[in-house]
Chain A
Amino acid sequence: MKTIDYPIYNEKLIVNKLSNGLTVYIQPKPGFNKTTAVLGVNYGAIDRTFQVNGKKITQPAGIAHFLEHKMFDKQDYDVFELFNKTGARSNAYTSFTTTNYLFSTAESLKENLDILLDFVQIPYFTQEKVQREKGIIDQEINMYQNDLDNQAYFKIIANLYPDSALATDIAGTVKTVDQIQLADVQLAYNTFYRPENMSLFITGKVDPQLAMTWIVNNQKNKATPQPQVLQRENNFVENSQEHVEQFKMDVARPKVTIGLRGNDLVPTGRDGLKYEIAISIMFDLFFSENAVEYDKLYRDEIIDDSFSWEFENERSFHFAVLGCDTKKPADFIKQMHSIIRMIPNQIVNKTSEFILQKNELLGNYIEMMDSEEAISGQFDGFIGEPVTIYDEVAILNELTLADVTAIAKSFLSKATMQEVMIRAADND
C-alpha cells in the first residue's frame, strides 16, 4: 500500500494492488457526506478483435456495451434493486476503451462496495436474458440516431478510421446487436473481466484503511481466473483521401464536423497526459473564446456558440473533432483549414495568451476538486501510473509554450483530416 500526498490541496491518494491483480485507489474527501466508487474495466467498444491463448477472435460491434447492460440483470432480480435498498444511486457507461460501473451513496458504504464488486465479478448470463436485452438496446441505438450531433460525431470518426472498430457506434447497430449470442457474451466476459484488468476508485467520505480491509475480504472469496495470454488487435488502416462527406437530413442549419486523426506516437503515463493537456491548450489558443482567430470567425458569423471542439486520447488512437452549426459551411471548412495550417508557425508567438490559458485551466481544475463526479471521471487507472486531478495540475504548472509548440508540431505534421456535412435538402 502506498500513499501519495498533495499538500498544496490537502488531498491524498492511497494505492493498493491486491494479490489477485485488482488495483484499488482511494482519495478521501474529509467533510463530505457522500462517497462515489467506480469499478473500471480496461475493455471497451474497440476491443472486438483479439487473440486469446493464440486463438483469434472477432466479435460483433456493440458487445462491450451489451455486456455492460447484462451485468445488471441477475437470475431473479435487477442490481438496481440492491443498490436501492440502501438508497444508493448506480449507473454504468461504456466508451471506446473502458467500461465503468459506479455508485454514489451517503449511507452503507460497505454494503454498496460489496454489491458493486459482486455484481460485476459474478455474472449471470442465459440465452433468454441475452435475447431479451436486444429490444432495449435497439431503442437506445434509435435514441442516439435521433441525435444529430451524436450522428455527426460518429460519422466523422468512421471516416477517420475506416473499416475499423472505431467506425461503428459504441452501442453497435440494430443488426450487429442482433448477432450477439450467449457464447459471445461469455467469451468477452471471461477474457476481459479479470481482476488484473480492473481498477476500483473511491472518493468522498471514506476511511481508507477500513475500506481497504472490506475490499480485501470481498476479494478473498473469489476465485482467481486461469492465466491467459491476451493480445488486442487494433490495427487501423490508413486514412483515405481527405473529402467532405455530405448527408441529407432534416436540420435547421448545416452541421459541419472536421476530424483530425493523430498519426504520431503518443507517449504513455504522465507524458501521455502532458501530450493531452498540450494539445488542448493548442486548440484553446486558436479556437477558444479567448482567441483572436475565434473572435474573427464569430464576428463574420461563420461560427456561433454552437461551435465546439474536443480531443480524445485513448489506448491506441487519438483524434480531435471540431464542429459547428453554420449557414456558411464552405467558409467554415476553408477558414478552419487555413487556421490549422498556420498553427505550427504562429503558436510560438502566443506568449501572453499561453499564460492566460494556463490560468484558466488551473482554475478549471480547482473547480473540479469540489466535485466527486469530476474527480472520479477524470481519474484514469489504466495508463501505467495513477494520475489524479492534482497530478494534472502539477503537469500543467511545468508546461512551457515550447513544450506545447513541440507537441503541436508532432500532432499536426502527421495528422490527417476528414469532414462531414449534414444538411437539409433545402439548406443550399
Chain B
Amino acid sequence: MTTNSHDLDHLLKLTVQNHKLEGILHIAPTESPELIEPSALEAFVIGEGVKSSFINQDAISTLTHLVQADPGLAHEACVARGQPPVSGGDSTLQLEASIQTRIDEIESRRAELEDAVSNEPANPPSQSDSSEAIDFYEMSPFLIVKRGDQICTLIESTEGEDGTDVFGQTIASKDGKPTLSLNDASVHVAQNGSVTALCSGLLTVTPSSVQVSETLQIPHDVDFSTANINFPGDVHIDGGVMDNFKVRATGEVLIRKLVQSSTIEADKCITLEQGMAGKDKGWIIAHGELHAGYLESIHASVAADCKVDHEITNSTISICGELISPGASLRGGEITIAKQCELNIIGSVQGVETTLVLGSLADLQELLSRSGALIAKATHELEAKQSRYEGFAQSIGKPTPAQIEEQMGMEFEISELRLTLSKLEKANQTLLTTLRTRTSPTLHVHRAIYAKSVIYFPGYKAVFHRDLEGESVLAVDENGGPTLMHHDKERPLRDVAKVYRDQRVPLIEQHDNEYRIAA
C-alpha cells in the first residue's frame, strides 16, 4: 500500500487554475495502470488539500478509464471545482415605460431629423400637406416632463456572495456599486425609489444621474434639428430661428442671433439680441416685456414695455406699456402704445407713411365698444318694455287672474333688465377707469418727425405735412387736446400737421367722479 502510494506520488500531480476554482489532475505515462483507480485518485486529491465536496467523481472515473485505455500517454482532467463568487448588482435606474417609449421615439427619429436638416427643402413641408405626412416641425428631440411626473425607479445595489476555492478557502465577492446619488434639486427620490420631477422642464438621464432643467439651452439655430419648441420654462437660443418655426416658452425667451419669419411667444420677457426680419409673417407675442435689436416686417403683441435699439420698420405692433427707444427710428407700419413713447425718428425723408397710435389699449377699447353697444341695446329694450307695460296697465280695469300674471311677468322682465343695465354700466365704468388710468399719451422724439407720419391721440389725429426736426414732445392738455413742445418751446401743432377730431382712440372725460367718452 505504501509502495503503491509512493508510486502514485510520482505519477500524479495536482495543479489549480482560474483563481484556484479548478483543480486539474495530471497523470504521467505509466506501466502500471492497475494502480490508477478512482479511490486512489480521490485519496490523492484530498491529500493535496482539495475539499472533498468539490471533487467531481465522474471526472475521476472518466480519467481512470482513459489511463486504463492508454497508459502510455499522459492524461489530465479537471477533477474539482470550487464555488465561484457572485458579484452584487450595481444600483440602476429603471425608466418609466412612457419615458422609455419617448426616448426610443427620439432615437428612432434622430436619423430622420438629421436627414431633414441635411436636405432642408426650399419650401419646407407644411403641417397641412397631408394627414399621413411626417410633420418635421413637430419632431422635437427634447424630452420634456411636467412637475410631478414619475420619471424612473431607482433600483438599489445588492451585496455579492463570496465563493470558495477547491481547497475550501473563501474567495471574496464584489458588492454592487453603491446607490446613485440622485441629489439634484430638480427631482425627488421617494423611499421606494420612485423618482419624480420637482419642476417642469428638460429631462436628462444618464446611467448615474437624473436632472430636470428649467432652462432649455440651444447652442445653435432653431431648425429641423430642434423642431418647434414648446417649453415649460426659459428658452435660451445661441443661434437664430429659421423661417416657419415656432418657439413658445412659459418663461422667458432669449435669442442671440437673427430671428426670421417665425413665431416667438413667451409668458415672460422676450429678448431678441439681434432682431427679427419677419417678412410680414413673423409674429412676436410677449406676455411680458420685449427687447429687440431691430424689428422688420413683423407683427407683435406686447403686454408690458418694449425697447428696440435701432429700427422698427414696416411692422404692426401693439404695446400695452411704454416704448422707450431713444435711439430707434420708426419707419412705416403702425405702432399702438398705451403709455409714453420715446423715439429718435418717426417716418423718413422719403415720406414713408408711418402711424403711431398713442394712449390706446386695443383689447380694452374693443370691450368698451361692445359694452357700449350692449348698454344701448338694453336701454332701447327697457324703454320698449316700459312703454308696453304702461300701455297695458292703462288698458285694463279690474285685472283678470291671467292679466295679473301677465302684468307681474312684465314687471319682472323690466326689473331684470334694469339689473342687467346697471351691471353693464358698472362694467363700462370699470373699463373707462382702467383705460384712463392705464394710458398716458405722450411722445418724445429726439431728431425728427417726418411728413406723412400720422399720430393718433385720444379724440384726435395729427397728419404731418411738414418735417419737424429737433427735440419735440407731443402730449395732451387738460382738455385732452394735443400739444407740441418743440425745442422746449410751445408751438402750435397745426404748423406742421393737420389735426382732426378722431374717435379711433376714445377721449375719456371725467364728470362728477364718473368717466365717459367725450362726444
Indicate, yes or no, whether A interacts with B.
no
A contact set with B: CB distance below 8 Å: none
